Amino acid sequence: MNIFVVNCGSSSIKYQLFKWPSESPICSGLVERIGLEESIITHKVYVNDQEQVIKRVLDLPDHDAGMKEVGMLLTEPGIGVIQNPEEIEVVGHRIVHGGESFVETCKVTPDVKEEIKRLAILAPLHNPGHYVGINVAEHIFSKATHVVVFDTAFHSTMPEKAFRYAIPESFYNDYGVRVYGFHGTSHKYVSEEARAYLNKPDAKLITIHLGNGCSMAAVDGGKCIDTSMGLGPLDGLIMGTRCGNIDPSVVFYLVNQLGYDIAQVDTLLNKRSGMLGLTGFSDMRDILKAIDAGDKCAKLAYDMYAYRIKKYIGSYAAAMNGLDAIIFTAGVGENDPDLRAMVCRDMEFLGITFNEEENKIRAKGLRELSLQDSKVKVLVVPTNEELEIAKQCFELIQN
């Protein structure tokens, strides 16, 4: 079965094609700068563990043009992996926000599309692009079954005491103001990999997704009971450009005392804060270079970043009344040994004894970074959201 996984952003398309049941993609790609001059397509084909990269620069005015170009790359003589777009049997779409309407994967219908469009009020930067992507993909891959997989769905198992805000109930009942959580596809994938590795279906886990966006989840027996992001992706950990947890009084101060309007506050907290606001850099690699050069602001920001993670570990361990493992994943989580060490030091009270030497070794795949006598395991589990989407698509079609 050919399963094509698509992630449409406001100006981009990410994709992977799986020839199921193989869990390794036969091709993948990224279309960037849609709607701008000199759009970029990076297309990769995998044959016998060899990677062939095709890069093209051209003008793509909209997602329709971008998806058509992808369709041609999939079938192009010499690099094509299929003969005809009609060979794509399933298209899996990643959707950031499903609200309370979607708590599990489902097939695309006109009603489903309309609800995704309506939910754009909760995810204005993401859901409109997803909606456009579905329409375009339905046109290009007209014979395929289209499936939507929601980032918020994994967090739908949270109890009400965890997802409600302490504001008048009408805001929840009338407008859906509550904690939804994000990165759910990643948290689901790495938690299931960890449960299988530990051979413990009822494992109490804390998953730590650290990229430009960062979030954590408390996962008890495969079910999320709490997560760090909220109504939108601004809350929780310090991120590349987002502030994370902040006293709402700061917003009042910015507006009432400093003259900011709401749009300026939105830009400040979402796009100019986090590690960028503290250091001038949003990429952790640049921040580490600044630390090596003696930049005290960069060092403080790094300490704050790790400290916030440690606080969540403590609170989630308490919420689950125990802990079997913590899991680092995504770009920073998988590739920054110094950060992992900072988070795991001085955690013996929680049962974590960390293997500093093993942590320094660069390696691929799932690995354990705790000492043998550690009551709580420390794992690095590379995330694979596209594979998780393909899995969920296959399970839905089979059932």
Instruction: Give the amino acid at 135.
Output: N
**377/82 Cα distance (integer angstroms):** 43
Name the active-site residue from 64, 151, 338, 373.
Answer: 151
Which residue from 116, 84, 77 is spatially nearest to 98, judged by alpha carbons? 116
SS (H, E, C) 27-48: EEEEEECCCCCCEEEEEEEEEC
Distance CA 234, CA 226 (A): 16
Q: Which helix H or strand E contains 63, and what residues bound it?
A: helix 63-75
Q: Beta-strand (E) ranges in the chain?
A: 2-8, 13-19, 25-32, 39-47, 50-58, 90-95, 106-107, 145-150, 204-210, 214-220, 223-227, 325-329, 367-368, 377-380
Among the listed residues 250, 288, 283, 256, the one whose alpha carbon sits nearest the alpha carbon of residue 268: 250
Residues facing residue 226 across a β-bridge: 218
Which among 185, 93, 180 has a CA at the least distance from the CA of 130? 93
Is 220 annotated in the active site?
Answer: no
Active-site annotation, residues: 151
